[in-house]
Chains A and B, each alone.
Chain A
């Protein structure tokens, strides 16, 4: 009788903490997945704005065909990657792909806005100015959402790798989440610097 009670107590002492640790890991995983969903919303907004931008710019920047084509291509690639990866938050391959595509897009967009400096008529265009503001704002939102995602992913990773939750993480296949870094650091690493002007 006594041995049964002791065995039960020991089991309880082992199971209860495991349940708590497991739940904590799940909560942290949900947190970074939710943070990633926020990035996805903002990236979609960014991609939706670019066709309008190209439309507006086309009439003024006749000699910049190449850049405009590059912008459209980068935008289409980025949108494809976004759709493919929107469900796979934290997956290293997806995060790297997305980072590369968005970095590329940021780079060509930066070039486009640098070139636009040479077209005073374009810069005076109301539509262009408002698109520029919307894009600037979207870049900032992406940057802040990415910051939130990386913070959440780091908290999750800490839980996955530290004792004692790492034991539960190993047993139930909780893997490290990858950070999201955009490769064109100049445009997106420091959100406020993106003023396009």
Chain B
């Protein structure tokens, strides 16, 4: 199938899809495990508290011997209730969050101060961008998305937003528009089309809402603890207070750990989807060079690629290259290292000797502006 010979996009896509499936499975397991653990602890604590109270009522004994084994105290009904409650908290907040975030890509692009580019633009660079988007729509057999330019952003970056191909929008930074030539621009646009075609925004949205559910879990834990402090005190059912307190702490800790693990998984899935999108982009353009050269230019302009925008966190997954802190720990990075991505497209790539990677950025921008002026 591949016209380019050495880069087999079909196989790369299949591999990326398999690995994503494993990671998504892990994510679901993580949520289930959290619900199960809190459920088990809840069962132990509430079971213990009830048993203790019953004994206290019967015997009025101050020194209750904790001789019962833990298993005897375990209350399956309470465990179920707590487990289901925890799942409910996660799923309901996730669903609400999903409804709030979902849908229209154009809204996301506008919230990042994007200006829309339309078919009848007079600006040559924007005209070229719109043409490239229309070409890729044909290559990908997808509807033409709305196109936005992020005006005040000098780094080379791009994103796709929106839940479905029909509501999708593509955003390109001003820096990308001025620094990339036609072929490189096409590679970048094809990469964003690949995210649309592969349903990556929807996948990421789901993961984000799941993480939000886990955040809600810690919040619920904190609330449980606070309510104990507010209402607690000289009540008779001290064991129940203690149990609620302990549940609060457990929720807090598990929620926080879950969020961390969830973010790592989200980042791992995202890194897989980036390789997949690179492979799919080559399927659309049938030439890996444009995308590879665009990535090299980003490497050369590394410090400019950080997007200084409050929304960076929410959309960073959709961005063409890592947008948040450059020193993000490897496990939380949403994009694979540039060098690795370029090597996947161009096996012989060597950053030390590559003319584009090593080109000083001022010279690069000057050249590309000239190119735009002369050839576009």
Interface residues of A (CB under 8 A from B): 38, 42, 123, 129-130, 132-134, 136-137, 140-141, 144-145, 147-148, 190-192, 195-197
Contact in complex: B287, A190 (CB < 8 Å): yes
Closest A residue by C-beta to B1 = A151
B208 within 8 A of A: no
CB contacts (< 8 Å) of A148 on chain B: these are 138-139, 141
Among A123, A132, A137, A147, contact of B139 (Cβ-Cβ < 8 Å): A147
B residues in contact with A136, CB < 8 Å: 131, 182
Mark out the residues of chain B between 358 and 376 whose CB falls within 8 Å of any chain A CB in the assembled complex: 374-376
Determine if B138 and A192 form an interchain contact, defined as CB atoms under 8 angstroms apart. Answer: no
Tell me the minimal C-beta distance from B11 to chain A in angstroms. 18
A140, B135: Cβ atoms closer than 8 Å: yes
Asked if B134 and A141 make an inter-chain contact with CB atoms under 8 angstroms apart, the answer reads yes
**B376 near A144: Cβ-Cβ < 8 Å:** no
Q: What CA separation (Å) do A99 and B6 show in the bound complex?
A: 29
Most chain B C-beta atoms within 10 Å of own C-beta, residue among A132, A141, A148, A190: A141
- CB nearest to A134 among chain B residues: B131
Please pick, from A133, A147, A190, A195, the residue contacting B127 in the complex, using a CB distance under 8 A.
A133
* Interchain CB contact under 8 A, B131 and A130: no
Residue pair B131, A144 in contact (C-beta under 8 Å): no
Can you offer 28 A-B residue contacts whose CB atoms are under 8 A? A38-B138, A42-B138, A130-B127, A132-B376, A133-B127, A133-B131, A133-B376, A136-B131, A137-B131, A137-B132, A137-B134, A140-B135, A141-B134, A141-B135, A141-B138, A144-B138, A147-B139, A147-B286, A148-B139, A192-B183, A192-B186, A192-B285, A192-B286, A192-B289, A192-B290, A195-B183, A196-B375, A197-B375
Residues of B within 8 A of A140 (CB): 135
Query: Which chain B residues (277-317) contact chain A, with CB distance < 8 Å?
Result: 284-287, 289-290
Give the one of B131, B135, B285, B287 with max A CB within 10 A. Answer: B135
B residues in contact with A191, CB < 8 Å: 286
- Whether B124 and A144, one on each chain, are in contact in the complex, defined by CB atoms closer than 8 angstroms, is no
In the docked arrangement, what's the CA distance between A144 and B137, Å?
Answer: 9
- Assess whether B128 is interfacial by the CB under 8 Å rule: yes
B138 A129 Cβ-Cβ under 8 A: no
CA distance A148 to B285 in the complex (A): 12
A137 contacts across to B, CB distance below 8 A? 128, 131-132, 134-135
A27 CA to B128 CA in the complex, in Å? 35
Contacts of A134 in B (CB 8 A): 131
CB closest residue in chain B, given A189 = B3
Distance between Cα atoms of A123 and B286 in the complex (Å): 29
Residues of the B chain whose Cβ atoms lie less than 8 Å from the Cβ of A42:
138
Q: Which residues of B contact A38 (CB under 8 A)?
A: 138
Residue of A nearest to B187 (CB): A192
Q: How far is the CB of A77 from chain B (nearest CB, A)?
A: 25
Q: With A and B bound together, what is the CA distance between A133 and B127 in angstroms?
A: 8
